[in-house]
Amino acid sequence: MDKVAVLIPCYNESITIEKVVRDYRRVLPEAVIYVYDNNSTDGTDRIARDAGAIVRYEYRQGKGNVIRSMFRDIEAQCYLMIDGDDTYPAEDAPQMIDLVLNKGVDMVIGDRLSSTYFTENKRPFHNSGNLVVRGLINRLFRSNVKDIMTGYRAFSRLFVKSFPVLSKGFEIETEMTIHALDKNFLLEEVPVSYRDRPTGSESKLNTVSDGVKVLKTIMNLFRDYKPLLFFTTLSVICVISALALFIPVLLEYFATGLVLRFPTLIVSGVLATIGILLWICGLILHVTVKKHRQLYEILLNQISIGR
């Protein structure tokens, strides 16, 4: 088992991968560096191998698929995940690793947003997108995480071997953060330097489509992790709508003794029924999620015993 494994998912990063591997080999000489090539066509794998990394391949496209294979294949006491685009200086890595190995932190988040991200990043929609995602998750999960979508993280073996990777693409970081918050893992954030990609290196992110995927992931995870709050919110919307339709009909009945708008009355009744059913669904799923958390704690104990 490696003491420290540096995990670098890569797709067409030939311009930067050599520098990234050499920088982390210099700062972390005891670490084993793994580059997982995700169908690159520009020789990223050859360059990484020549620089001293162990190169493996993931043929299912998407960062989530790469992380899934990395977490499953590699055995280590501490895992450091970085991007292959040379946007994260290696000098912050020892502090992050120390928190995992010596303090028992389960996930260390490299916080770009508290340092140089907003001045270095040249894509304004990415800046605003990070703020929107951070605000949503912190409000929904009552947390105070400063950088939700950073690709610079360190993990304990317990987190890596118990994390169910469901996302296939760049929304994987959001999924990691929500999972850690929900399962009460020990999190710490370390402000890290961030620099924009060098000239000639292009981001694989599409601001609109990947942003929509991230927002969809947040809502799906909100539904899955907090079903009572999610379905109660929908239930309240339905019940309020039902009352808004029903009250005028009721007032007309008191005034005239007649029900003059039967379609409106029927629609209000249907909405009220849907609202009640949604609340019942949320209550049932809440019990199921609570039982799942209990089983997950048992799984964590078994993984700890097996270390």
Query: Where does the chain have alpha helices with state H?
Result: 17-27, 44-51, 63-73, 93-103, 117-120, 124-140, 157-162, 172-182, 207-225, 227-256, 262-305
Q: For residue 285, what pLDDT is reported? A: 96
156 token code pair: 């304990």
* pLDDT on residue 178: 93
Task: Please provide the size of the chain in residues.
Answer: 307
pLDDT of 201 reads 61
The one-letter amino acid code at 46 reads R
Confidence at residue 123, expressed as pLDDT on a 0 to 100 scale: 58
Cα–Cα distance measured from residue 51 to residue 233, given in angstroms and rounded to the nearest whole number: 53
Instruction: Please check whether residue 163 is in contact with residue 72, taking contact to mean a CB–CB distance below 8 angstroms.
Output: no
Is residue 216 a contact partner of residue 266, using CB atoms and an 8 Å limit?
no
Phi, psi of 286 (to 5 degrees): -60, -45
pLDDT at 249 (0 to 100)? 93
Q: Which residues of the chain have pLDDT under 70?
A: 116, 118-127, 199-207, 210, 306-307
- In the sheet that holds 187-191, the strands lie side by side as 54-57, 32-37, 2-10, 76-81, 153-156, 107-111, 187-191
Residue 77 sits at φ, ψ, to 5 deg, of -80, -30
> Global pTM?
0.83
In this structure, are residues 13 and 39 in contact, taking their beta carbons and an 8 Å threshold? no
Please name every residue paired with 187 in a beta bridge, in sequence order, or none if there are none.
Answer: 107
